[in-house]
Amino acid sequence: MYEQDLYEHADVVNELLARYGVKFGIYKNNVFREQLFPFDAIPRIIAKDEFAVLEKGLKQRVVALNLFLKDIYGKKQIIKDRVVPEEFVYASSGYLTECEGVCPVKDIYSHISGIDLVEGKNGQWYVLEDNLRVPSGASYPMIARELCRRSSPRTFMNVKLEDNRNYAELLRRAMDYVNVGGHSVILTPGRYNAAYFEHSYLAEQTGAHLVSGPELTVEDDMLYYIDSYGHKERVGVVYRRISDEYLDPMTFNPESVIGISHIYDVYRKGNVALMNAPGNGIADDKGLYYFVPKMVKYYLGEEPVLQNAPTYLPFYEEDMKYVLEKFDSLVLKDVAEAGGYGVVFGNKMTAEQKADFIALLKAEPRRFIAQEVIDFKDLDIKDQGKVVPRKADLRAFVLMADEPMVWKSGLTRFSRNPDSFIVNSSQGGGFKDTWVLSQ
C-alpha cells in the first residue's frame, strides 16, 4: 500500500525540506520568526470527476471576480444596479482610488488566484475565502511531490494521478501572455518576507529573474532590470510579491523602501504588466466575499457551481438580528484580517468578551461577517507515530492567460491542534500534498 511506503519516508522528506530551506516566515509585532512548514506524507486524494466539478466552479468564480474588478474600477455598473452596495466598495481597505480608470494589460486583474475551500462532511465543497492579491503556497506541494518521488518512487508507479510539476509551465504561460516586451521578473521584498522560499523557487522553475527593488529602475516611462554587471534590460512583466502599499512610494506609501519609484506610472501607460494588478484587494475583502455568488449571476448569467459558506452581514438589519440570536453557534471574522487572525468563535467567549464584542459589532457592522461553523472533513495525519484526524482546507490555484487554468493539485493545510479549525501556517498548521487522480 502506498500509505505504508509514504509513512516510512515521511521523516526523510521533512529532512530534505529542511535542507532545501523550505520555510515560511512570520513577521508580527515587529518580530521576524522563520520556521519549517511541517509536511505530512498522507496525501489528500480527490477523484477525477470530483475535481472536474471543482475546476468548473473555480474557473467560473475567477472569471466573475476579474469582471468585477474591471467594473469596479471602471463603470461601476454593479453598484448602479444595486447588486453590491457602494458602502462595501468604498469603505474597503482593499479599494484603491489610485486604480480608478487604470486597466491592466489584456484586462486581466488576477493572473494568479488562490481560492480557499473546505469539504463538508456531507461531501459538498464550500469556498471560504478568495485571495487575489499575492496568494502564496503553490511551491510547497510542488517541491514536496518532487522529494516524495525521489524518496519513494514505487509509490508513484502504482497510483495514476495528475502530475503537479506543470505549475511553473502554467505560471510562465500566464506571464508570457501579458508580457509587453522584455524580461519576466519576480519581484520580492527580500529574504525576510514570509514566502521568500517560494519567490526564489518559482523564479528558478520559470526561468524568470528574481529581483528586489534596487535592481529595477524607471527611465523614459519604461521599466528596466539592472544585472550584476550594470547592464540595463527592459522588463515586460513583473510578478510582484509585495503588497500594493509598498509597490511605488511615489503613488502609494511614501515611506516604502522596497518598491520602485514610478513603476505605477509605467504600468498605467501600459508599458509593463503587473501580476497581480494593484487594487485587487477589494476582491479579497471578506465583506465582498458575500456577494461573489451574485457576481457570477450578474456578470455571467449562470448559477454558481461552488457555494460560499453560509454567511451573514451584520451591516444588514435582518442579518444583525440573526447574528445576535445565533451568536454562540457562529464564527465571526474581521474583514480586514488574514492568516487566521481576527477569527473568533461565539461559543469560545466568556460573557464579558461576548458583551464587548457585540458592542463593537453594533458600532462597526461593516467590519465583520458571521458564518455558520461548517463541520468540515477531517483528514488523517501522522502525529508522533499515530494516525489521527485533523481539520484541513484546500487552497486551489487558478491562473489566467487567454483562458483560466486550474492547477490539478493544490495546497492542503491542516491544523495540528485537535481542537482547532484554524489551519493557517502562521497559526502552527502543517501541509499535505494534494493528489488529483487521473482516472
**Cis peptide bond prior to 122, omega within 30° of 0:** no
**Reported confidence tier of residue 424, pLDDT bands at 50, 70, 90:** low
Rounded to 10°, the helix 2-19/139-151 angle is 120
Indicate whether 18 pLDDT > 90: no
Distant-in-sequence contacts of 78-82, Cβ < 8 A, 24+ apart:
78/295, 78/298, 78/299, 81/298
Indicate whether 1 pLDDT > 60: no
**Reported confidence tier of residue 104, pLDDT bands at 50, 70, 90:** very high
- pLDDT at site 339: 61
Higher confidence at residue 155 or residue 238? 238
Phi, psi of 425 (to 5 degrees): -60, -35
With CA atoms as reference, report the closest residue to 138 among 205, 219, 234, 227.
205
> What span, in angstroms and rounded, lies between the C-alpha atoms of 205 and 203?
6
Please, what is the end-to-end C-alpha distance for the chain in angstroms?
A: 18
Rounded to 10°, the helix 196-206/167-178 angle is 80
Percentage above 90 pLDDT, the chain: 72
pTM of the model: 0.93
- pLDDT at site 153: 85
**pLDDT tens digits along 276-330:** 999 999 999 999 999 999 999 999 999 999 999 999 999 999 999 999 999 999 9
**Reported confidence tier of residue 423, pLDDT bands at 50, 70, 90:** low
**Reported confidence tier of residue 131, pLDDT bands at 50, 70, 90:** very high
Sequence-separated (6 or more) residues with CB below 8 Å from residue 356: none
- pLDDT at site 357: 94
Higher confidence at residue 363 or residue 382? 363
**pLDDT tens digits along 385-417:** 788 999 899 999 999 999 999 999 999 999 877
**Reported confidence tier of residue 420, pLDDT bands at 50, 70, 90:** low
Q: Among 19-28, 32-41, 337-346, where is mean pLDDT lowest?
A: 19-28
- pLDDT at site 365: 92
With CA atoms as reference, report the closest residue to 345 among 324, 312, 371.
371
Indicate whether 152 pLDDT > 70: yes
* CA atoms within a 13 Å half-sphere pointing along the CA-CB vector of 152: 22
- pLDDT at site 311: 95
Pairing of strands 368-372, 330-334: antiparallel
User: What average pLDDT is seen over the chain?
Assistant: 91
Q: Among 112-121, 185-194, 253-262, 318-327, where is mean pLDDT lowest?
A: 185-194
- pLDDT at site 422: 63
